[in-house]
Amino acid sequence: FAQGPLYIAQVMGNEVIAIGAALYGPPPHFVCRQLNYPARLTDDEHKRIADVSLSCLQALGLGWGPTNIEFRWTKLGPVVIEVNPRLAGTPDPELAQLAYGIDLVAEHIKLVIGDEWNLSRRLSRTAAARMLIPDCDGTLDWIDGDSQAAAVSGVAEVKLYIPPQTPIVRKGNYFDRIGHVIAVSASLAQTEAALKRAVDTISWSITPF
């Protein structure tokens, strides 16, 4: 059991493009509540995560295309949880694009078809996603407020994953999410404020089984 905050390194080729932070709910479950890009790291912490990321690629014979690597920062420093030779799952690539202006999906396609990719950063912003997590099992009667949330200044995306009358059985992992809200701004404080305003407009009703 590696205890500590979780970080996600998004790598293209042998270049660390972005490092994000994942905020989780209480143990023993692994339910991500929020993703922040970039993670709030010191220069030394960023370098250590980047160095271990590149060491993983070398050890596993990777280095072509996208890779995402998850770490827990423990008392011993960054401990590798998993190395995935693929793009990170949604919404991590979207957050990297909003924060840095790099479309990882498009750049991956360029690599596949033999075009020259461009991994230079065009933006320097803070993007974050708040996950919508139900607090009980049951049938989703209704969910509302997504259009109002999308109208909040700074909100880039509001996505609901399931329609009304869907049964919900929580599993204690990322399958528990029923939607997300993404916001972006020049600072983490502004992004957090936009997320809160948007999420507060979304409500739902669940009839327990």
User: Hey, which residues are catalytic here?
Assistant: 86
- Do 148 and 122 contact (CB within 8 A), yes or no? no
Q: Please report, as a single letter, which amino acid is at residue 93.
A: P
Count of residues for the chain?
209
Our separate counts of H helices and E strands in the chain read 5, 11
Task: Return d(Cα 134, Cα 177) in angstroms, integer.
Answer: 7
| Cα four-point dihedral sign 140, 133, 81, 19 | positive
- Do 138 and 197 contact (CB within 8 A), yes or no? no
- Do 172 and 29 contact (CB within 8 A), yes or no? yes
Phi, psi of 159 (to 5 degrees): -135, 125
Q: Please report, as a single letter, which amino acid is at residue 71.
A: F
Q: Which residues, 6+ apart, have CB-to-CB distance to 90 below 8 Å?
A: none
Burial pattern 68-82, b for ≥16 Cβ within 10 A else e, equals bbbbbbeeeebebee
